[in-house]
Amino acid sequence: MRLASPYFLLLLLACPVLFYLERLQERMGRGSLLYSATLGTPLTHRAWLAKNLYWMRLAVIALLAFAMARPQLIQSYDEITSEGIDIILAIDVSGSMAAEDFKPKNRLSVAKDVVVDFIAGRRGDRIGLIIFAGISITKCPLTTDYVVLRSLLMSVAMGELEDGTAIGNALANCANRLRNSKVKSKVIILLTDGVNNRGEISPLDAADVARTLKIKVYTIGAGTTGLAPYPIDDPVLGRTYTMLPVELDEDLLRAIASKTGGLYFRATDKQSLDQIYSQIDKLERSKIESKTYKNHEELFVPIIWSGLFLLLVALIAGETYLRRLS
């Protein structure tokens, strides 16, 4: 509750002034009727009313002052609107993602852990998942059910697709998934550690399609520079490691990002991959607007009527019923 015109409460200062003047007049011999009161004898209604008539007049002043201050009951509510973002996560699951240069795990395992954290930080965005190697498939369509999305992401494993790196096909698949999206912001985050060597669609042609559909592509190149340790499971010797050169077409990934208005990032370990997804998370945030609506209900009307009723009672009683007692 609030008072729209609180300065009218200054009228309450008249109450102690009138009280003082009333007592002063009594002490100066103002005519009054003295009557005896026997202990234990209850006052009649007339006597009680005569005794409290003055206080009723002060109550009238207080009620009218409070009413003129316009007490209001405030009712407010917030309306929050969110302009969501549609995001497709494209993750390379080719055999080279088994390289263990992102210690203590291989590239794919680290990428899944980092992407899970990325998903956990989103609110209200639709996110989909596409995996690719020699071919590209949709693992999870656009959804806001992050529990299902995380479950499907963690089930991703190398070997479920034929080997190779079809970046163009993956990008085209992502663009197709976002083709009918009505949101203003559409994003693809593509992570790969290789060179495009499979697929019928050129990566740059797919990037042109994404640009036409107003889709922004962030590309991430995963892998250390130079050589990386690849595990080899030998039936006799067990698991051994061989050092193989890291092949990553950074120029292609930069071109894809540049064509679509995105950015290219290079991840050489888990820490840098964490930072990349965190940076993309900050760049692509949903626009949230909050509007506060307020409504107020005036409360002065019943207060005024109460004050006028008391004033009417005091005036009538003073001129009629209590005339002899006042």
pLDDT given for residue 13 in this prediction:
77
Judge if 137 and 264 occupy the same domain.
yes
CATH, residue 218: 3.40.50.410
The CA distance from 248 to 320, in Å, is 106
Judge if 153 and 239 occupy the same domain.
yes
Stated length of the chain: 326
Residue 324 lies in a domain: no
pTM: 0.65
Judge if 96 and 61 occupy the same domain.
no
Domain residue limits at 309: 2-31+44-75+295-319
Residue 314 lies in a domain: yes
Provide the number of structural domains found in the chain: 2
Structure tokens belonging to residue 245: 């050169």
Residue 14 lies in a domain: yes
Q: What is the DSSP-derived secondary structure letter of residue 43?
A: P
Residue 49 lies in a domain: yes
Instruction: Choose among 166, 177, 278, 150: nearest CA to 218.
Output: 278
Judge if 123 and 212 occupy the same domain.
yes
pLDDT given for residue 277 in this prediction:
95
Helix (H, G, I), strand (E, B) or coil at 308: helix
Residue 290 lies in a domain: no
Residue 36 lies in a domain: no
Judge if 134 and 22 occupy the same domain.
no
Judge if 128 and 11 occupy the same domain.
no
Judge if 274 and 246 occupy the same domain.
yes
Residue 326 lies in a domain: no
The CA distance from 292 to 312, in Å, is 43
**Average pLDDT for consecutive 10-residue bins of the chain (326 residues)?**
74 74 65 51 58 69 78 63 83 94 91 95 91 96 94 94 95 96 92 93 96 96 90 84 91 96 95 94 71 64 76 69 50
- Residue 24 burial class via C-beta count within 10 angstroms: exposed 0-12, middle 13-18, buried 19 and up: exposed
pLDDT given for residue 292 in this prediction:
55
Helix (H, G, I), strand (E, B) or coil at 151: helix
Judge if 117 and 18 occupy the same domain.
no
Residue 325 lies in a domain: no
Judge if 71 and 208 occupy the same domain.
no
pLDDT given for residue 22 in this prediction:
67
Judge if 106 and 204 occupy the same domain.
yes
Judge if 301 and 252 occupy the same domain.
no
Phi and psi at 267, nearest 5°, equal: -110, 125
Judge if 159 and 236 occupy the same domain.
yes
